[in-house]
């Protein structure tokens, strides 16, 4: 929200003194430099884009000149993010051209735009959650500017050092563990490190703390002083007026006009944005005639991590604000009250006691929480607007557990109309909406619960000027209906406009309460700063971490646990049988281990991109059948090699078919590979209805060779697992493989050819089945169509035991190998202990469930920390 003082001067963003002495000196030289430049570095010509039911961009032409900060403003849904997405190559225009530094194209790609000199910071950071900070920063750089993988951590440390005064980030930290403000710092730091001709910043300050905003503005000034250009998108017009040279206004997908920033006032821009005169003066909410009732929300002796002995009451119809320098406990308190943090103490809503031990428990007790992190905790991607909004209000629209669709549509449509949500219909995927409209839908969900208490954490984050006024009105209306409302905001001006009282936090305590005339922007900002002796560095949750913390989040940790479990089972078996630790036993077990190891490694490849290949078992059976034809006689060495080549080609074709069904036809991986499973099984049985044919014994003698009692193929399996592990973390392809599984759309934005990576993964998985099939040939000696069927589920179990995520992005080939070791060990030990064979299934199934639950819980706790 942009506020004006009585004399019409703009206030500083977030209450920060952005125009520091260093900032003033740098911007002064920048202005002089800009006057001497004027070459166009980014030009959009007649760009047009339509979505189903929406004309998003209507023939927009725009020119951005070097040495200038070009602001792009407009309401949510006006087309700002779509327009810059077209400029960055992440959105395909229906018509029009993009020109960057003199190079023109009508079909830009993210890679082309990056190489030509355009960098972009999206409203939602284009970071891969399962990659480290350093890996993300390197991946997003142009090819000519990327450091080597070995040097990426030191390189990232130097870049992030510019932000060390406001946030501490360890480059080795997975992005999923960063707080929202730290993620934006990483994205901005990466973009500036490219030294681009033009950098696009889409709402860059929404999640930044005041010191980081000041640092960003200084770096922007340095960039333009050196001849770069900036496209700056923001709803905060005070920021726009503070730093911009030129302002372009979009409304309903069309360009209203481009103006010299010095020639328009904030009020002029507001009127252009909304298309009408909008009175931006406001009166204090305590004077709007609302009658305050009895105490409705009471908290006492409330303590938890980063806060202690919190006591407060909120009356019915009252709006109470939480303020303070970030990190002083106010956000921890409001999240704990909403069921998202550990706590102890008393919470009462009316005359009933509530234990907000979880969001559902808080909601059941009459407390509804609006999150500040819309992207991670608010929006349910893949669901419609209607489903997103009604999810928490199902009790209002269901009878005996059956949802009334008519009542649901009535409630949600009325809410969307009141919130002025811009969308083709309530049935579209919420992911297709602009950030501000997503925020309105999330707020609708909170209001539809009809809770007595509403906890609003940064309620207007990422919404436009008009929408902020609408949200203010909605919160006031909710208060007028007798609800108790708590608002946490980093904007003192917002708290002034909304709140009857403001509680200022410092070091986990309520340091001061402001009431009456003291509830004003100046007093709130002064109280927040004076209540804290020293403005502390923002905690990102991503500073230097301990060795044990690093181990707990390592993808190799599950493998280490499996190794320990394997050793323990071995000790048990050795104490019960003298024949367990003999070369004869190992010579029988190790070939079985090698076979399962290749299957598990193959499965791990596709699991890295979030897939599962159910066809690996029947594929192995088909390969054994094919080998019974092409390797049936006494072959020459060349003939044997050609036969293996044929097997590899057959496997690669099967992998390509799987990829086509999944990526091109867009069938779910489970269904697609289940179809392939059935087809391969049918073909193999058609060729060999019964086991028949004889595979060349000389060929089998080559592949079944041993070093003592250790099979050569077991050594090969270990070498393959270690080699792929190295590639996964130390090669560009491995990082792109993990990126594709971590977040495919974000990987696309970073220039990763995700379809090509997926093709390599599915083809690679099938090719890795070839050595497993060869080992099965040794076991059968004939063409047996069903010999590999049992390995499909075993391969998945081994990979999951090794720490693989079924959602992609995480896993370890060494872990998959050790998972195969544990599965084989279980089967062996059960026999040595004389237990019934069904114990193999019980132990394997139980351990798989325990492993998945343990790894999931460990990672969840790590991310929360």
In this prediction, residue 531 carries a pLDDT of: 63
Question: Could you tell me what percent of the chain has a pLDDT over 90?
Answer: 39
Backbone angles phi, psi at 365, to 5 degrees: -85, 0
- Non-local (6+) Cβ contacts of 270 within 8 A are 2, 237, 278, 280, 465
CATH hierarchy code of domain 556-864: 1.10.3470
Report whether 226 contacts 68 (CB < 8 A). Answer: no
In this prediction, residue 577 carries a pLDDT of: 85
Between 852 and 227, the higher pLDDT residue:
227
Query: Tens digits of per-residue pLDDT, 336-363?
Result: 999 988 888 999 999 999 999 898 899 9
Strands 198-202, 229-233: pairing is parallel
In this prediction, residue 246 carries a pLDDT of: 93
In this prediction, residue 862 carries a pLDDT of: 52
Between 204 and 290, the higher pLDDT residue:
204
User: Same fold for the domain at 13-274 and the one at 285-366+451-531?
Assistant: yes
Cβ density class 599-615: b for 16+ within 10 Å, e for less = bbbbbbbbbbbbbbbbb
Backbone angles phi, psi at 320, to 5 degrees: -115, 135
Rounded Cα gap, residues 591 and 772, in angstroms: 10
Cβ density class 220-232: b for 16+ within 10 Å, e for less = bbebbbeebbbbb
Q: 104-118, 541-555, 784-798 — which is least confidently predicted?
A: 541-555
Chain centroid to CA 821: how far? Answer: 33
Tokens 């599950």 — which residue?
A: 558
Confidence of residue 541 (pLDDT cuts 50, 70, 90): very low
Looking at domain 285-366+451-531, which CATH architecture does it have? 3-Layer(aba) Sandwich (3.40)
In this prediction, residue 55 carries a pLDDT of: 87
- Mean predicted confidence (pLDDT) in 706-731: 92
Tokens standing for residue 775: 């080992």
Tokens standing for residue 760: 């390599």
Adjacent-strand bridge partners of 548:
none
Confidence of residue 844 (pLDDT cuts 50, 70, 90): confident
Rounded Cα gap, residues 455 and 276, in angstroms: 32
- Mean predicted confidence (pLDDT) in 786-806: 89
- Mean predicted confidence (pLDDT) in 503-513: 89
Tell me how many degrees the CA angle 150-152-153 measures, rounded to the nearest 5. Answer: 100
Report whether 307 contacts 329 (CB < 8 A). Answer: yes
Task: Check: pTM over 0.75? Answer yes or no.
Answer: no
Chain centroid to CA 681: how far? Answer: 38
Which spans in 275-329 are helix H?
none
Rounded Cα gap, residues 858 and 852, in angstroms: 10
Confidence of residue 165 (pLDDT cuts 50, 70, 90): confident
Residue 622 has pLDDT above 90, yes or no: yes
For the chain, the residue count is: 865
Confidence of residue 858 (pLDDT cuts 50, 70, 90): low
Residue 388 has pLDDT above 80, yes or no: yes
Rounded Cα gap, residues 532 and 327, in angstroms: 11
Helix (H) or strand (E) holding 81: helix 80-88
Confidence of residue 860 (pLDDT cuts 50, 70, 90): low
Confidence of residue 5 (pLDDT cuts 50, 70, 90): very low
Helix axes 754-780, 583-607, angle to 10 degrees: 160
CA distances (Å), 238 to each of 16, 20, 206, 242, in order? Answer: 12, 16, 13, 6
Report whether 116 contacts 103 (CB < 8 A). Answer: yes
Confidence of residue 3 (pLDDT cuts 50, 70, 90): very low
Contacts 24+ apart (CB under 8 A), 334-337: 334/369, 334/455, 334/457, 334/486, 334/488, 335/369, 335/457, 336/302, 336/304, 336/307, 337/299, 337/302, 337/362, 337/367, 337/369, 337/455, 337/486
- Non-local (6+) Cβ contacts of 771 within 8 A are 598, 713, 716, 717, 720
Average pLDDT, the chain: 84
Confidence of residue 550 (pLDDT cuts 50, 70, 90): low
Closest CA to 692 of 628, 773, 619, 648: 628
- Non-local (6+) Cβ contacts of 485 within 8 A are 314, 318, 319, 320, 453, 454, 456, 475, 478, 479
Torsion from C-alpha of 90, 95, 99, 100, nearest 10 degrees: 0
Rounded Cα gap, residues 166 and 164, in angstroms: 5
Beta strands in 85-219 (DSSP E): 95-100, 103-105, 118-121, 198-202
Which 8-state DSSP code applies to residue 782? S
Domain 13-274 maps to which CATH number in 3.40.50.300, 1.10.10.10, 3.30.70.360, 3.40.50.12780?
3.40.50.300
Tokens 């989040």 — which residue?
A: 553
SS3 category, 52: coil
In this prediction, residue 861 carries a pLDDT of: 52
Query: Tens digits of per-residue pLDDT, 55-76?
Result: 889 999 999 999 999 999 887 6
Contacts 24+ apart (CB under 8 A), 657-662: 658/613, 658/615, 658/762, 658/766, 659/758, 659/759, 659/761, 659/762, 659/763, 662/611, 662/758, 662/762
DSSP string, 698-757: HHHHHHT-EETTEEHHHHHHHHHHHHHHHHHHHSHHHHHHHHHHH-HHHHHHTT--HHHH
- Mean predicted confidence (pLDDT) in 816-822: 92
Helix axes 813-832, 712-730, angle to 10 degrees: 150
Question: Could you tell me what percent of the chain has a pLDDT over 70?
Answer: 88
CB burial class (10 A; 0-12, 13-18, 19+) of residue 792? buried
Helix axes 405-419, 465-480, angle to 10 degrees: 120
Which spans in 359-404 are helix H?
359-364, 385-390, 394-397
Which 8-state DSSP code applies to residue 207? S
SS3 of 635-701: the string is CCHHHHHHHHHHHHHHHHHHHHHHHHHHHHCCCCHHHHHHHHHHHHHHHHHHHCCCCECCCCHHHHH
Confidence of residue 305 (pLDDT cuts 50, 70, 90): confident
Report whether 173 contacts 545 (CB < 8 A). Answer: yes
Residue 406 has pLDDT above 60, yes or no: yes
Query: Tens digits of per-residue pLDDT, 431-453?
Result: 888 777 888 888 888 888 889 99
Q: 120-129, 180-189, 268-277, 692-701 — which is least confidently predicted?
A: 268-277
Strands 40-51, 95-100: pairing is antiparallel
Report whether 763 contacts 654 (CB < 8 A). Answer: no
Tokens 């991310």 — which residue?
A: 863
In this prediction, residue 620 carries a pLDDT of: 96
Rounded Cα gap, residues 500 and 101, in angstroms: 52
**Upper half-sphere CA count for residue 517 (Cβ side, 13 Å):** 0
Residue 624 has pLDDT above 50, yes or no: yes
CA distances (Å), 104 to each of 23, 98, 131, 562, 749, in order? Answer: 35, 6, 33, 55, 20
In this prediction, residue 741 carries a pLDDT of: 92
Residue ranges per domain, the chain?
A: 13-274, 285-366+451-531, 379-450, 556-864
Q: What percent of the chain is helix, strand and coil (3-state, nearest 5)? A: 55, 15, 30
Closest CA to 434 of 375, 389, 488, 393: 375
In this prediction, residue 155 carries a pLDDT of: 94
């Amino acid at each position: 929200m942009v506020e004006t003082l009585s004399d019409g001067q703009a206030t500083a963003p977030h209450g920060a003194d952005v125009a520091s002495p260093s900032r003033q000196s740098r911007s002064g030289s920048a202005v002089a430099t800009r006057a001497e430049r004027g070459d166009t570095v980014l030009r959009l010509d007649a760009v047009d884009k339509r979505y189903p039911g929406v004309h998003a961009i209507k023939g927009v032409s725009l020119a951005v000149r070097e040495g200038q900060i070009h602001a792009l403003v407009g309401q949510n849904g006006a087309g700002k993010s779509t327009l810059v997405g077209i400029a960055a190559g992440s959105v395909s225009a229906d018509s029009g051209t993009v020109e960057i530094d003199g190079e023109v194209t009508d079909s830009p790609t993210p890679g082309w735009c990056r190489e030509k000199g355009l960098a972009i910071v999206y409203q939602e950071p284009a970071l891969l959650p399962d990659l480290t900070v350093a890996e993300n920063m390197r991946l997003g750089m142009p090819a000519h500017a990327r450091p080597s993988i070995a040097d990426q951590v030191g390189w990232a440390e130097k870049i992030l050092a510019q932000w060390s005064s406001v946030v501490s980030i360890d480059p080795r930290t997975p992005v999923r563990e960063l707080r929202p403000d730290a993620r934006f710092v990483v994205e901005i730091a990466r973009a500036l490190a490219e030294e681009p001709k033009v950098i696009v910043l889409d709402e860059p300050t929404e999640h930044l703390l005041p010191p980081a905003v000041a640092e960003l503005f200084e770096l922007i000034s340095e960039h333009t002083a050196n001849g770069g250009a900036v496209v700056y998108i923001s709803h905060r017009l005070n920021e726009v007026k503070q730093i911009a040279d030129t302002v372009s206004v979009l409304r309903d997908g069309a360009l209203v006009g481009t103006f010299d920033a010095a020639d328009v006032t904030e009020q002029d821009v507001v009127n252009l944005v909304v298309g009408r005169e909008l009175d931006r003066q406001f009166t204090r909410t305590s004077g709007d005639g609302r009658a305050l009732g009895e105490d409705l929300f009471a908290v006492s002796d409330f303590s938890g991590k980063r806060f202690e002995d919190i006591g407060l009451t909120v009356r019915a119809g009252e709006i109470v604000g939480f303020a303070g320098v970030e990190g002083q406990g106010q956000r921890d308190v409001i999240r704990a009250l909403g069921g998202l943090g550990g706590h102890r103490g008393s919470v009462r809503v009316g005359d009933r006691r509530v234990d907000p031990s979880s969001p559902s428990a808080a909601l059941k007790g009459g407390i509804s929480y609006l999150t500040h992190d819309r992207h991670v905790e608010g929006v349910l991607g893949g669901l419609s607007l209607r489903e997103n909004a009604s999810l928490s209000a199902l009790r209002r629209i269901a009878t005996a557990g059956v949802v009334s669709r008519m009542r649901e549509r009535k409630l949600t449509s009325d809410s969307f109309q009141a919130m002025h949500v811009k969308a083709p219909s309530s049935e579209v995927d919420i992911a297709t909406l602009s950030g501000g409209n997503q925020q309105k839908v999330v707020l609708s969900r909170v209001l539809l619960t009809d809770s007595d208490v509403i906890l609003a954490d940064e309620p207007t984050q990422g919404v436009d000027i008009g929408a902020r006024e609408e949200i203010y009105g909605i919160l006031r209306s909710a208060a007028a209906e007798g609800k108790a409302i708590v608002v946490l905001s980093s904007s003192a001006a917002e708290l002034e406009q909304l709140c009857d009282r403001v509680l200022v936090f410092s070091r986990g305590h309520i340091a001061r309460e402001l009431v009456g005339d003291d509830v004003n922007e100046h007093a709130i900002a002064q109280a927040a700063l004076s209540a804290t002796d020293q403005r502390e560095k923002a905690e990102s949750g991503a500073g230097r971490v301990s060795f044990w913390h690093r181990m707990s989040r390592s993808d190799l940790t599950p493998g280490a646990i499996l190794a320990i479990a394997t050793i323990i089972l071995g000790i048990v078996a050795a104490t019960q049988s003298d024949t367990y630790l003999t070369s004869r036993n190992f010579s029988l077990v190790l070939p079985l281990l090698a076979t399962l190891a290749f299957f598990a490694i193959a499965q791990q490849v596709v699991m890295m991109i979030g897939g599962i290949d159910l066809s690996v078992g029947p594929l192995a059976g088909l390969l054994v059948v094919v080998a019974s034809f092409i390797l049936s006689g006494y072959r020459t060495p060349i003939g044997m090699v050609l036969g293996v080549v044929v097997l590899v080609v057959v496997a690669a074709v099967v992998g390509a078919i799987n990829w086509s069904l999944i990526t091109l036809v867009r069938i779910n991986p489970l269904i697609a590979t289940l179809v392939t499973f059935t087809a391969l099984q049918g073909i193999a049985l058609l060729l060999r209805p019964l086991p028949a044919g004889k595979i060349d014994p000389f060929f089998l003698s080559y592949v079944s060779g041993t070093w003592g009692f250790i099979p050569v193929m077991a050594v090969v399996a270990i070498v393959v697992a270690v080699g792929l592990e190295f590639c996964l973390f130390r090669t560009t392809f491995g990082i792109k493989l993990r990126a594709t599984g971590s977040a495919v759309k974000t990987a696309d934005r970073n220039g990763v050819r995700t379809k090509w990576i997926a093709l390599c993964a599915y083809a690679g998985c099938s090719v890795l089945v070839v050595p497993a099939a060869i080992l099965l040939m040794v076991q059968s000696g004939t063409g047996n169509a069903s010999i590999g069927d049992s390995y499909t589920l075993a391969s998945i179990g081994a990979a999951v035991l090794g720490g693989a995520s079924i959602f992609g992005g995480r896993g370890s080939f060494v872990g998959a190998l050790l998972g195969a070791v544990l599965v084989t060990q279980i089967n062996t030990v059960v026999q040595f202990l004389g237990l019934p064979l069904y114990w193999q299934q019980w132990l394997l199934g139980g351990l798989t469930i325990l492993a998945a639950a343990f790894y999931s819980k460990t990672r969840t706790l790590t991310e929360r920390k």
